[in-house]
Amino acid sequence: MAQTFEKGKLKLHVERTGNDIYGNPLYRLTPSMTMVSQYRNFFFQDKKIPLYRRYFSKNYAIIQSYNIGWDVENILNVWDERLKESNLAY
């Protein structure tokens, strides 16, 4: 079942995709397509955001998580901080 998490103008759609080879849960994170592309670029390129795999051309990333709600909130907070630091009109 997919969920959507929001912080300000940032939106992430989260969906469970299965497990890795060690049995750890994996989730697909998809930033909203309505966001300005600069915001989405930070999501995929910032190494402070702990993503398992990044698929920029397909507009999603994979994260391994046992507490997806907390991890997504953390990602949104880091993403929000980085956008504010960059002086993008946010």
Tally the domains of the chain. 1
58, part of any domain: yes
The 10s digit of each residue's pLDDT in 17-74 is 999 999 999 999 998 866 667 677 777 787 777 788 888 888 899 999 999 999 999 9
In a domain, 37, yes or no: yes
pTM: 0.82
Is the residue at 90 inside a domain?
Answer: no
Whole-angstrom distance, CA of residue 21 vs CA of residue 13? 24
pLDDT tens digit string along 2-14? 899 998 878 899 9
Establish if 72 belongs to a structural domain: yes
Residue 79 lies in a domain: yes
Rounded Cα distance, 66 and 61, in Å: 16
Residue 48 in any domain: the answer is yes
Domain that holds residue 39: 3-85
